[in-house]
Structure 1
Amino acid sequence: MSAKPRVALIAHDKKKVDMIMFVRENMEILSKCELYATHTTGSIIEDKVKLNINKMLSGPMGGDLQIGSLIASSQIDYVIFLRDPLTAQPHEPDVSALLRVCDVHNVPLATNLASADALIKEISLELES
């Protein structure tokens, strides 16, 4: 892994507020990471939480695929994709392609707040070592 953990942040529309709250609650840890996000999610995080984000295209324009490419080329260490399993819209990123590339490249992927909390604990341990 790199000196700074590289974390991708993606959220379906109905999970963007959850993502903002999650990032705020974990700002001390995430501020020490290199952060990547799809454009809309990244812009909201920058605006509301004031963290620097490397923004890809928006999800409907292929930003999730750009993040998938970064995963495949070993440029992302962790993925937090807060997805809406019940009412995701057709224009929103599909977790299945990211799940596949994360599994192929052994990159942890959190899809809900409970698993995101577990990833944050792992990132915190990595930062301490």
Structure 2
Amino acid sequence: MSALSVPPAPDRRPYVALVAHDARKDEIVKWAGRHAAQLARVEIVSTGTTGGRISEAYPELSVTRLKSGPLGGDQQIGAMICEGQIAALIFFVDPLSPMPHDVDVKALTRLATVYDLPMACSASTADLIVNGLLGAP
């Protein structure tokens, strides 16, 4: 069963997870700005610093900040994926920098694959997912 086929509770909007490595945080903040009208129709769940940066730049968006990725935020999002709460995962990965918590990153992307969740690791694929899920701006 696709995560998109799991309807959100009637009293809440679907969650879209936004995560970015340090070297890509500026990029995801700019991306969120380009899609602010679409993202205003969902609940955003994000790891700590990424969520803080998006909230600061776009206070009109509903952003739930979890723990920082290395402190368990990736696992918190993973648990939400397992529970069918996440409609899409946007994870701007930095493939050129070594990550001490690379195992956590692999676990998160593995869960997205296991649960057939739409997942993007770059702006161009994130555009496709958001436009497909929420319609073009």
TM-score (normalised: structure 1): 0.90
The residue type equivalent to 1:40 in the other structure is: T
Cα RMSD between the aligned structures?
1.8
Aligned residues: 126
Which one of 37, 44, 49 corresponds to residue 35 of structure 1? Answer: 44
Which residue number corresponds to residue 15 of structure 1?
Answer: 24
Q: Structure 1 regions of 5+ residues with no counterpart?
A: none
Which one of 88, 94, 117 corresponds to residue 107 of structure 1? Answer: 117
**Residue 48 of structure 1: CA displacement?**
1.2
Identity %: 36
**Could you say what secondary structure the match of 1:77 adopts?**
strand
The residue type equivalent to 2:109 in the other structure is: L
Preserved contact between residue 8 and residue 78 of structure 1 (Cα < 8 Å): yes
Which one of 89, 93, 99 corresponds to residue 83 of structure 1? Answer: 93
**Residue 95 of structure 1: CA displacement?**
2.9
**Residue 89 of structure 1: CA displacement?**
3.2
Task: Give me the whole-angstrom Cα distance separating, in 1, the residues matched to 2:98 and 2:88.
Answer: 22
**Residue 122 of structure 1: CA displacement?**
1.2
Greater CA drift, 36-45 or 96-105: 96-105
- Give per-residue Cα distances to partners, 1:39-92, cap 9 Å, x unaligned: 110011111111221111011101011000000010111000001011143257
Q: Structure 2 regions of 5+ residues with no counterpart?
A: 1-6
Is 2:67 aligned against 1:96?
Answer: no
Task: Give me the whole-angstrom Cα distance separating, in 1, the residues matched to 2:132 and 2:33.
Answer: 18
**Could you say what secondary structure the match of 1:9 adopts?**
strand
Task: Give me the whole-angstrom Cα distance separating, in 2, the residues matched to 1:92 and 1:38.
Answer: 15
Which residue number corresponds to residue 26 of structure 1?
Answer: 35
TM-score (normalised: structure 2): 0.85
